[in-house]
Amino acid sequence: MKTNIKRILPIILPLALVAVGVGAFQKRATASHAAPLAHLIAPDVDRDAPLVPRDRPDLAVYSSRNQGESQTQVYVQSTGSLKANLVYVDPDPGELVAVSDDGTRGTYRRYLSPGKSVDVTVALQPHQS
């Protein structure tokens, strides 16, 4: 038994440390944004994970789609606000894949067909997209 533990310990220990590290990072990155977004959970809406700008940790930016529809909306929400601001609507399916450090721009990936997409720059200020 001791021989088996000595053989698998070098494999299991690094994997466990990586898993703990990733979990701690995800918890730290999203913990402050979980409460403001919790009231928006609806069973018929698919929301992507929020993106947090590096220089604006008080903002959460995310995309969502109503089930059965191809149209995608992009929202910006402040942690102190219960209301999310709609900043962009795209008629095609896609998702927000990146946000600038200052939170003023985002990259929306529009899916055209399987294996084919195009990236669109989106202004994350209301009524400017």
User: Which residues are CB-neighbours of 95 under 8 A, at least 6 positions away?
Assistant: 48, 63, 72, 108, 109
More reliable by pLDDT, 44 or 99:
99
Q: What is the structure's pLDDT at 7?
A: 66
Which residues neighbour 82 within 8 Å (Cβ) at sequence distance 6 or greater? 36, 39
pLDDT of residue 111: 92
Residue environment code for 34-59, b if the CB has 16+ CB neighbours within 10 A, otherwise e: eebbeeeeeeeeebbebbbbeebeeb
Q: pTM for the whole thing?
A: 0.63
pLDDT at position 6: 64
